[in-house]
Chain A
Amino acid sequence: MIARVGRWLFLGGFVAIIAAPVYIVIVSTVKDNAQLFTNPIGLPSPIVLSNYVRMLTESSIDTSFRNSVVVTAAAVVLTLLLASLASFGITRLTRVSGGLLFGLFILGLAVPAQVNIIPIFLQFKSLGLTNSLVGLIIINIASTLPISVFILTTFFRQLPPDMFESAVLDGAGYLRQYLSIALPLSRPALGATSIFLLVIVWNDLLYPLLLITEQSKWTLPRTLLGFQGEYLTDYTMIFTGVIIASMPMVIMYVLLQRFFIAGLTAGAVKG
Chain B
Amino acid sequence: MTQPVRFEGATLTYPGATIPAVNQLDLAIDEGEFLVLVGPSGCGKSTCLRMLAGLEAVTAGSIHIGARDVTNVAAKDRDIAMVFQNYALYPHMSVAENMSFALRIQKAPRAEIDRRVREAAALLDLTDYLDRKPKALSGGQRQRVAMGRAIVREPQVFLMDEPLSNLDAKLRVQTRTQIAALQKRLGTTTVYVTHDQVEAMTMGHRVAVLKDGLLQQVDTPRALYDTPVNRFVATFIGSPAMNIFQVPIVDGGVDLAGWHVPVPREVLSRASSGEVLLGVRPEAMRFAAEGAPMTVTLVEELGSDTYVYGTLARSDGSLDDVVARPWGIASPAVGATVHVAPQDVYLFDGAGAQVRLAAGG
- Of A160, A166, A173, A181, chain B has the most CB atoms within 10 Å of the CB of A166
* A170 with B102: CB separation less than 8 A: yes
* A165 with B105: CB separation less than 8 A: no
* B90 with A163: CB separation less than 8 A: yes
Query: Which of B81, B84, B91 makes the CB contact (< 8 A) with A185?
Result: B91
* A171 with B102: CB separation less than 8 A: yes
**A185 CA / B55 CA spacing, docked (Å):** 23
A-B contact count (CB 8 A): 57
A50 within 8 A of B: no
* B76 with A169: CB separation less than 8 A: yes
Query: Which of B55, B89, B153 makes the CB contact (< 8 A) with A165?
Result: B55
* B75 with A169: CB separation less than 8 A: yes
Number of interface residues of B (CB under 8 A): 22
A interface, size bucket: 10 to 19
* A162 with B76: CB separation less than 8 A: no
A82 within 8 A of B: no
A216 within 8 A of B: no
* B105 with A172: CB separation less than 8 A: yes
A168 within 8 A of B: yes
* Chain A, Cβ-Cβ closest to B161: A162
* B76 with A173: CB separation less than 8 A: yes
B101 within 8 A of A: yes
**A181 CA / B102 CA spacing, docked (Å):** 13
Chain B, residues 79-114, CB within 8 Å of chain A (1/0): the string is 011101110111110000000011001100000000
B249 within 8 A of A: no
A128 within 8 A of B: no
A41 within 8 A of B: no
From DSSP, what is the main secondary structure of chain A's interface residues?
Answer: helix
A180 within 8 A of B: yes
* A176 with B84: CB separation less than 8 A: no
B53 within 8 A of A: yes
* A169 with B81: CB separation less than 8 A: yes
* A170 with B53: CB separation less than 8 A: no
A184 within 8 A of B: yes
A73 within 8 A of B: no
The minimal Cβ–Cβ distance linking B74 to chain A, given in whole angstroms, is 8
Chain B, residues 51-78, CB within 8 Å of chain A (1/0): the string is 0011100000000000000000001100
The minimal Cβ–Cβ distance linking B122 to chain A, given in whole angstroms, is 21
Query: Which of A165, A172, A180, A181 makes the CB contact (< 8 A) with B84?
Result: A165
Chain B residues with CB under 8 A of A170? 76, 101-102, 105, 149, 153
* A171 with B106: CB separation less than 8 A: yes
The minimal Cβ–Cβ distance linking A93 to chain B, given in whole angstroms, is 14
* A167 with B101: CB separation less than 8 A: yes
Chain A, residues 148-186, CB within 8 Å of chain B (1/0): the string is 000000000000101101111111110010001100110
Chain A residues with CB under 8 A of B106? 171
* B84 with A166: CB separation less than 8 A: yes
* B86 with A172: CB separation less than 8 A: no
| B residues neighboring A (CB under 8 Å) | 53-55, 75-76, 80-82, 84-86, 88-92, 101-102, 105-106, 149, 153
Pick the 4 closest A-B CB pairs, nearest first. Answer: A170-B102, A162-B88, A166-B88, A171-B105
| A residues neighboring B (CB under 8 Å) | 160, 162-163, 165-173, 176, 180-181, 184-185
